[in-house]
């Protein structure tokens, strides 16, 4: 059976992004749009989400940022981390602006803040979506979301996406819809039925392990799944899909700038990567710039210098990880270290 990929994470897009990055471009950006998330309080939440923070970027600032990033070669914007993007009032204005600028977009969402008419806009703006869907057991999902009735709203949203033919699969078997499925002790047994649903509807299952960070720390002991159970889950997933399931690495981890909701450009303190959740532990980051005041080319140069300095001391950090499903994108972190080194060496030579 041909392997289904989530289009924004497809290996060919990652290869192209890394190629562009070695040429001195910044093809990708991560944007934490807002900390707002008021319709649920997931037990495994890895972010300080809830209320908007003071000083979050405004729509005019985001437009200016996108135009500045475009001059550096921006092709993809990943709205990821912190709160729920649909709760930002100008969310669809951003999608429209990105489409007008021919920049592709992918975002995580809980599916709880959408109105009926939004589906048409999601289609119109070519959205690529990673939607929270941990289980089809309503009671269990409400418990995970900490909100009675929330699961039903998410299921309705899925139905509407399907009924309105939102899901598109291109000739390379890449889809524009993924489900974010976080394995916990609560939903572990119900995950195979979500995978079956994904298979039937051409949805990429993005299976994650719980991260030991923020609110999730409080529930980690009670909910985290043991390695043996994850191995068993992985083999069930492989059997259902008919191939060895692997989550490809998001291209934003290396060839990108990571901008938080208040406009700071941040990198992972330990590794210099643009994703501080890569190791699924408490994020530790350093600020390397501010989109409100700094020249983005200078910031990108500083980021590269930080990375090149860090590389020799972080090899063991990657080698010591043995991810089962999600950490490192489902691929051994050591594989990513090799890729990281080769890209940074190419940049160093220039
Ligand atoms: S995991 Fe996502 S949807 Fe759930 S509370 Fe956190 S930010 Fe909100």
- The pick from 45, 109, 214 for probing ligand 1's pocket by mutation, whose C-beta has the most ligand atoms within 8 angstroms, reads 45
Burial 272-298 (b: 16+ CB within 10 A, else e): bbbbbbbbbeebebeebbebeeeebee
37 within ligand 1 shell (Cβ under 6 A): yes
83 within ligand 1 shell (Cβ under 6 A): yes
Q: How much is the pLDDT for 71?
A: 97
Q: How much is the pLDDT for 278?
A: 67
Hey, whose CA ends up nearest to atom 3 of ligand 1? 110
Token output for 174: 């890449």
SS (HEC) of the chain: CCCCEEHHHCHHHHHHHHHHHHCCCCCEEEECCCCECCCCCCCCCCCCCECCCCCCCCHHHHHHHHHHHHHCCCCEEEECCCCCHHHCCCHHHHHHHHHHCCCEEEEEECCCCCCCCHHHHHHHCCCEEEEECCCCCHHHHHHHHCCCCHHHHHHHHHHHHHHCCCCCECCCCEECEEEEEEECCCCHHHHHHHHHHHHHHCCEEEEEECCECCHHHHHHHHHCCCHHHHHHHHHHHHHHHCCCCCCCCCHHHCCEEEECCCCEEEEECCCCCCCCCCCCECCCEEEEEECCCCCHHHHHHHHHHHHHHHHHHHHHHHHCCCCCCCHHHHCCHHHHHHHHHHHHHHHHHC
87 within ligand 1 shell (Cβ under 6 A): no
Q: How much is the pLDDT for 281?
A: 67
261 within ligand 1 shell (Cβ under 6 A): no
49 within ligand 1 shell (Cβ under 6 A): yes
pLDDT tens, residue by residue, 147-195: 999 999 999 999 999 999 999 999 999 999 999 999 999 999 999 999 9
Assess contact for 139 and 65: CB atoms under 8 A: no
- The pick from 35, 110, 142 for probing ligand 1's pocket by mutation, whose C-beta has the most ligand atoms within 8 angstroms, reads 110
* Whole-angstrom distance, CA of residue 171 vs CA of residue 205: 19
41 within ligand 1 shell (Cβ under 6 A): yes
* Strand partners for 287: 266
110 within ligand 1 shell (Cβ under 6 A): yes
Q: How much is the pLDDT for 324?
A: 60
Assess contact for 250 and 9: CB atoms under 8 A: yes
Whole-number Å distance, alpha carbon 277 to ligand 1 midpoint, is 15
195 within ligand 1 shell (Cβ under 6 A): no
The domains located in the chain, with CATH, are: 5-349 (3.20.20.70)
Residues of the chain with pLDDT under 50: 327-329
- Nearest ligand 1 atom to alpha carbon 132: 3
42 within ligand 1 shell (Cβ under 6 A): yes
45 within ligand 1 shell (Cβ under 6 A): yes
Assess contact for 91 and 79: CB atoms under 8 A: no
Assess contact for 173 and 5: CB atoms under 8 A: yes
Q: How much is the pLDDT for 321?
A: 65
- The pick from 37, 129, 141, 153 for probing ligand 1's pocket by mutation, whose C-beta has the most ligand atoms within 8 angstroms, reads 37
Q: How much is the pLDDT for 250?
A: 80
Q: How much is the pLDDT for 325?
A: 58
């Amino acid at each position: 059976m041909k392997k289904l990929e989530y289009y924004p994470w497809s290996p060919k897009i990652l290869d192209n992004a890394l190629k562009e990055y070695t040429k001195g471009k910044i093809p990708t950006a991560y944007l934490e749009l807002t900390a707002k998330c008021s319709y649920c309080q997931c037990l495994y939440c890895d972010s300080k989400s809830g209320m908007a923070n003071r000083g979050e970027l405004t729509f005019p600032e985001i437009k200016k940022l996108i135009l500045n990033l475009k001059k550096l070669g921006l092709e993809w914007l990943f709205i990821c981390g912190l709160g729920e993007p649909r709760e930002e009032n100008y969310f669809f204005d951003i999608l429209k602006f990105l489409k007008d600028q021919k920049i592709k977009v992918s975002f995580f969402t809980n599916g709880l803040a959408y109105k009926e008419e939004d589906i048409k806009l999601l289609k119109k703006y070519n959205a690529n979506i990673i939607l929270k869907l941990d289980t089809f057991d309503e009671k269990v999902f409400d418990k995970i979301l900490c909100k009675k009735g929330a699961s039903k709203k998410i299921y309705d949203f899925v139905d509407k996406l399907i009924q309105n033919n939102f899901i598109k699969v291109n000739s390379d078997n890449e889809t524009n819809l993924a489900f974010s499925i976080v394995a916990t002790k609560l939903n572990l047994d119900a995950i195979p039925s979500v995978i079956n649903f994904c298979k039937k509807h051409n949805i990429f299952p993005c299976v994650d392990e719980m991260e030991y960070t923020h609110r999730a720390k409080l529930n980690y002991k009670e909910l985290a799944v043991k390695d043996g159970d994850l191995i068993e889950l992985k083999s069930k997933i492989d059997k259902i899909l008919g191939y060895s399931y692997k989550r490809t690495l998001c291209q934003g981890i290396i060839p990108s700038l990571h901008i938080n909701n208040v406009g700071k450009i941040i990198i992972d303190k330990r590794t210099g990567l643009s994703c501080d959740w890569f190791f699924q532990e408490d994020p530790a980051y350093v600020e390397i710039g501010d989109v409100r005041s700094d020249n983005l080319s200078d910031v990108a140069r500083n980021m590269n210098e930080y990375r090149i300095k860090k590389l020799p001391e972080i090899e063991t950090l990657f080698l010591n990880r043995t991810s089962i499903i999600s950490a490192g994108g489902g691929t051994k972190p050591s594989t990513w270290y090799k890729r990281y080194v080769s890209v940074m060496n190419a940049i160093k030579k220039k």
